[in-house]
Amino acid sequence: MELSGKHIVLGLSGGIACYKAAELCRALIKEGATVQVVMTEAAAQFITPVTLQALSQRSVYTSQWDAREANNMAHINLSRAADAILIAPCSADFMAKLLHGRADDLLSLMCLARPLESVPLLLAPAMNREMWAHPATVRNVAQLRADGATVLGVGAGDQACGETGDGRMREPQELLADVIAFFQPKLLAGQRVLITAGPTFEAIDPVRGITNRSSGKMGFALARAAHEAGADVTLVAGPVALATPQGVRRLDVQSAQDMLQACLSQADQASIFIATAAVADWRPVASTDQKIKKDGSGQVPHLALQENPDILATLAQSKRAQSGALFCVGFAAESHDLLAHATAKRQRKGVPLLVGNIGPATFGQDDNALLLVDAQGAVDIPRASKLSLARILVREIAQRLPGTAL
């Protein structure tokens, strides 16, 4: 229930993407929001108010002359009750209307009459690719952002007109994530966060390798939470089957050496480094070009191993980290004696904060329990969803940044 207690006015302007608004309305409500739908006359040509009324469980407003309002001021009453106004789809015509302050229907009138300081305006554009790329639309989007509106991104792909390109309205679940992120405190605004996630894979031959059971879910949750908190996020991911969080830049790697090089290439631009990945401690001295075959003798091939580079220690001991320009956070996945091992690892790595967890109890799971260890001691964070824990950890990191007081 990420949006519990929030009241969203969902506005629909004219466009074929109105069909997505039905699923979006349902998704907002499933996350705990109440939704009041307001439609333009053009929107009602694509989807009926009855559909949105059934989904929102509220009467849909389509006219500024709606007689249900005792004072005949629906534009005032509806906007004052909202925690946010979300226009999805927002057509090129409606964006032009907003830009010039035109108010010739209920939806545009309501947007103009909203209290700027307390009712944010979120726009989900939807239009043909040529319309989206037109200089007039480009100017309008830039000015709407300058005026304080949050213009969400567009999708790319097949369009109803038969063309392919940018301009599609984002999918309902993507827009839901945008709305949830919008309401998160921007504790890391202006920060550049570098995160590692998942396992590494150290090749023995073209088929086999050394790896571990890390799913990457905690690191991906942290990437999402850091982006929600306003950070510019780069995620270095080992071999995992997870979707990239919205707004996050992703670099895919395989081995520990690959991960180290990717991190070193990004570290100079980062202000926070979070080493969530479960990096393999060892790798084969040499991998073969061909699959190692059994020869029927029962003898096991000798596998010589060498230690992998220590990514966390390397970055934590860098000049930027030592000067305080790069705040490093480590993770420790243990099987027992978590406090003792996590405390020792924090001191050995030389990081201000280390996050410990019991690996076998969390690998592949959607929830976890954490132990935060710093110079002052240790604090348990009870078991919760990994996204909830990621948001807690973001706050803990923000509190520890130099010059920060929350």
Number of domains composing the chain: 2
CATH number of the domain to which 124 belongs: 3.40.50.1950
pLDDT value for 362: 83
Q: How far apart are CA 176 and CA 84, in angstroms?
A: 13
Instruction: Please check whether residues 116 and 236 belong to one and the same domain.
Output: no
pLDDT tens for each residue of 34-93: 999 999 999 999 999 999 999 999 999 999 988 888 888 999 999 999 999 999 999 999
Give the amino acid at 170.
R
Q: How far apart are CA 19 and CA 204, in angstroms?
A: 51
Instruction: Please check whether residues 157 and 254 belong to one and the same domain.
Output: no
362: DSSP letter? T
Instruction: Please check whether residues 47 and 163 belong to one and the same domain.
Output: yes
pLDDT tens for each residue of 170-209: 999 999 999 999 999 999 999 999 999 999 999 999 999 9
CATH number of the domain to which 377 belongs: 3.40.50.10300
Percent of the chain whose predicted confidence (pLDDT) is above 70: 99
Which of 126, 159, 182 terminates a domain? The answer is: 182
Instruction: Please check whether residues 210 and 167 belong to one and the same domain.
Output: no
pLDDT tens for each residue of 14-51: 999 999 999 999 999 999 999 999 999 999 999 999 99
- How would you label 71-89 residue by residue, b for 16+ Cβ within 10 Å and e otherwise? eeebbebbbeebbbbbbbb
Please list the helix, strand and coil fractions of the chain in percent, rounded to the nearest 5, in that order. Answer: 35, 25, 40
Asked if residue 1 is part of any domain, the answer here is no
Mean pLDDT across 359-368: 86
Instruction: Please check whether residues 25 and 148 belong to one and the same domain.
Output: yes
Q: Which of 353, 355, 356, 352 is CA-nearest to residue 338?
A: 356
pLDDT value for 294: 87
SS3 153: coil
Instruction: Please check whether residues 263 and 138 belong to one and the same domain.
Output: no
Q: How far apart are CA 87 and CA 119, in angstroms?
A: 13
Catalytic residue annotation = 161
- As given in the structure block, the two tokens for residue 240 are 């995992």
Asked if residue 187 is part of any domain, the answer here is no
Mean pLDDT across 340-344: 94
Mean pLDDT across 345-349: 94
Asked if residue 406 is part of any domain, the answer here is no
At 404, the pLDDT band (50, 70, 90 cuts) reads low
Instruction: Please check whether residues 71 and 19 belong to one and the same domain.
Output: yes
Using an 8 Å Cβ cutoff, are 169 and 178 in contact? no
- How would you label 142-162 residue by residue, b for 16+ Cβ within 10 Å and e otherwise? eebeeeebbbbebbeeebeee
Q: How far apart are CA 338 and CA 344, in angstroms?
A: 10
Asked if residue 263 is part of any domain, the answer here is yes
To 10 degrees, what angle do helices 92-100 and 106-113 make?
A: 40
Q: Which domain holds residue 271?
A: 192-289+299-400
Is the model's pLDDT at 232 over the cut of 70?
A: yes
pTM of the model: 0.90
pLDDT tens for each residue of 308-317: 999 999 999 9
At 364, the pLDDT band (50, 70, 90 cuts) reads confident
